[in-house]
Amino acid sequence: MIEVTMENELNNIVYTQVKRAEYPEQKPAISDEAQRKELADLKAEKIKRPATKKEYLDTLARLEKEIADIAVLNKQNGEETASSRKAIDDKFAADIAALKQDESNQWTAVRAVRTKLLTDCDWTQIPDVPLTDEQRKAWQEYRQALRDIPQQLGDQDAIKIDDLYWPECPV
């Protein structure tokens, strides 16, 4: 449970430090509607057919090529957009990972978890709480062990968050 809380606290800390970049505006798709309509009208003979079969086939080929070219451009636009979004997402993830490794952020997360654990058991220190002397003493030892967590670390330059000993709650 402490590990999950530490991870949550660390996430809360680092996500406030990294601003997510905005994605670039996606290029609007190029519409091939006009070419498709002209092609359909040509095939349905709604527009005047070219005078010769060759002109008709050339017009058909031109329209089909324009439609294919537009599809290629739209695909390229989509790939460029996806690529730039992935680059932004990758940088964001790398920034988050780097900040999670930052010792000051880890230490801040340790303090936040320790404070929450202490706050959660403040009720045990009220004089009229129905606890036996033995139970009250166990809670006082637990609370003192939480307060002693910084002494486990010694020099903060050599912080090893994974090596912390979290005392067991005397439930």
Per-residue confidence band for 3, with pLDDT thresholds at 50, 70 and 90: low
Q: 138 and 78: one domain?
A: no
Q: Does position 80 have pLDDT exceeding 60, yes or no?
A: yes
**Count of the separate structural domains present in the chain:** 2
- Domain assignment of residue 38, given as a range: 18-101
Between 108-112, 150-154, 164-168, the lowest mean confidence (pLDDT) is in: 150-154
Q: 107 and 163: one domain?
A: yes
Q: 82 and 47: one domain?
A: yes
Give every CB contact of residue 91 below 8 A, 6+ residues apart in sequence.
Answer: 21
d(CA 126, CA 152): 28
Q: 112 and 88: one domain?
A: no
Tell me the pTM: 0.62
